[in-house]
């Protein structure tokens, strides 16, 4: 596997890699440098090799491109060595970006199968992140098509994303859906849920994941600031890294919310995350309405559902495709007052939160990793037989 990520914190990459390893596959995962002093280690039966390229965080599109190119070249070199010492059956490349699949060119020529795993659609994501022009969008769509040509199969994370890729010319027969649902071995619902403020008198909201403006973290902070005084003991917990953490910390200070908006920029390791999340009263999703936002089914939303944490979420295309009105408390995307009222409604109606937890559980019963994991193994077996 090849992934421009921090393996220890990337639930999707880990879940797929460790599921394959548990079924007898010898899995090596190439990532950027994250630990530094321990560039090679094993985790969950997977051999992780951190290459000498640090992961870039910032707002420069040029710096991102340079870092991606360095990572592609480093990954290609390692793939070449692995191909010479032991034949690679499959090279599984996780985007972003799509062109990381170029690292698999030599193994492909030598007969290996190549998979492009599309976590996020590149044209929509980068156009949103960098306010791209129409020319940039066309270039990104071309990058997507060329990358898909290199791959034998393209994995999508949900049905709306698949329809978008097919509409841009990727053959439907080449696509496969593997949803980014939580690992049930890690995210286990507790037998008893706390449906009212905890014994410490706090009502705890949580957002965990990437801290960037396009995911609406600033909107969550503003909504919570407007609720200060209306909900006794209100706290917002923000766990995760991202380009805009410092900006969000400044915003909380400007709004006088520094005492009840609590940051953990280091994030929370996956192994510790379920226990920490289970202590929360409400999960909040803040995604903005954009081309990228409408194609996303936030994994944090599904992790809250898996742990029996009720959710407040924006009315966006893919979320509404999978979650009915009785599963979450909806608000109009980017409407700060609407988000605040949705949070307040959830706070004042514990019976609503309880009912939503029960109804939302139907999503995981239909789409959970028990099904997704089995389909991934079957997908691999069929790919290698052809």
Q: How much is the pTM?
A: 0.86
User: CATH fold of 2-181+368-385, please?
Assistant: Rossmann fold (3.40.50)
What is d(CA 289, CA 286) in angstroms, rounded to the nearest whole number? Answer: 9
Non-local CB neighbours of 50 within 8 Å, separated by 6+ positions? 31, 32, 33, 34, 35, 36, 38, 39, 40
pLDDT value of residue 199: 46
pLDDT value of residue 19: 95
Return the higher-pLDDT residue of 55 and 321. Answer: 321
Mean pLDDT of 290-309: 94
For the segment 88-100, what is each residue's pLDDT rounded down to a tens digit?
Answer: 999 999 999 999 9
pLDDT value of residue 269: 83
Find out whether the peptide bond into 97 is cis, omega within 30 degrees of 0. Answer: yes
Instruction: List the one residue out of 48, 153, 151 whose CA is nearest residue 105.
Output: 151
What is d(CA 47, CA 1) in angstroms, rounded to the nearest whole number? Answer: 10
Residues of the chain with CATH 3.40.50.2000: 2-181+368-385, 203-366
Return the SS3 of 345: helix
**Mean pLDDT across the chain:** 92
Q: Is it the case that residue 183 has pLDDT exceeding 80?
A: yes
For the segment 325-340, what is each residue's pLDDT rounded down to a tens digit?
Answer: 999 999 999 999 999 9
Q: Is it the case that residue 116 has pLDDT exceeding 70?
A: yes
pLDDT value of residue 60: 80
> Which pLDDT band holds residue 8 (cuts at 50, 70, 90)?
confident
Share of the chain above pLDDT 70, in %: 96
Q: How many CB atoms lie within 10 A of CB 167?
A: 8
CATH 3.40.50.1370 matches 203-366: no
Q: Is it the case that residue 244 has pLDDT exceeding 90?
A: yes
What is d(CA 71, CA 77) in angstroms, rounded to the nearest whole number? Answer: 10
DSSP one-letter code for 131:
T
Find the angle CA(248)-CA(250)-CA(252) to the nearest 5 degrees.
Answer: 70
DSSP one-letter code for 173:
G
């Amino acid at each position: 596997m090849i992934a421009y990520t921090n393996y220890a914190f990337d639930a999707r990459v880990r879940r797929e890699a460790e599921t394959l390893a548990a079924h007898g596959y010898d899995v090596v995962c190439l990532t950027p440098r994250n630990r530094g002093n321990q560039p090679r280690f094993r985790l969950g039966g997977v051999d992780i090799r951190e290459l000498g390229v640090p992961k870039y965080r910032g707002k420069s599109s040029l710096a991102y491109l340079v870092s991606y190119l360095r990572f592609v070249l480093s990954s290609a070199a390692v793939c070449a060595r692995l191909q010479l010492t032991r034949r690679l059956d499959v090279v599984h490349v996780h985007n972003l970006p799509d062109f990381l699949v170029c690292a698999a060119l030599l193994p492909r020529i030598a007969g290996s199968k190549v998979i492009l795993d599309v976590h996020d659609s590149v044209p929509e994501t980068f156009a949103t992140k960098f306010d791209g022009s129409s020319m940039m969008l066309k270039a990104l769509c071309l990058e997507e098509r060329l990358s898909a040509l290199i791959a034998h199969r393209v994995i999508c994370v949900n049905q709306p994303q698949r329809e978008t890729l097919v509409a841009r010319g990727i053959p439907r027969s080449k696509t496969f859906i593997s949803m980014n649902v939580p690992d049930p071995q890690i995210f286990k619902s507790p037998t008893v849920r706390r449906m009212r403020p905890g014994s410490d008198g706090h009502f705890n909201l949580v957002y965990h994941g990437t801290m960037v403006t396009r995911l609406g973290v600033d909107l969550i902070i503003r909504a919570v600031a407007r609720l200060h005084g209306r909900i006794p003991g209100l706290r917002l917990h923000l766990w995760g890294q991202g380009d805009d953490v410092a900006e969000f910390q400044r915003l909380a200070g400007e709004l006088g919310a520094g005492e009840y908006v609590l940051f953990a920029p280091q994030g929370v390791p996956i192994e510790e995350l379920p226990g920490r999340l289970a202590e929360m009263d409400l999960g909040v999703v803040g995604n903005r309405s954009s081309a990228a936002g409408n194609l996303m089914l936030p994994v944090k939303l599904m992790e809250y559902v898996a742990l029996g944490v009720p959710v407040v979420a924006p009315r966006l295309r893919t979320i509404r495709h999978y979650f009915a009105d009785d599963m979450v408390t909806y608000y109009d995307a980017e409407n700060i007052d609407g988000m605040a009222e949705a949070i307040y409604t959830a706070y004042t109606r514990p019976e609503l939160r309880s009912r939503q937890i029960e109804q939302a559980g139907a999503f995981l019963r239909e789409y959970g990793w028990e099904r997704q994991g089995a389909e991934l193994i079957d997908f691999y077996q069929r790919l290698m037989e052809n």
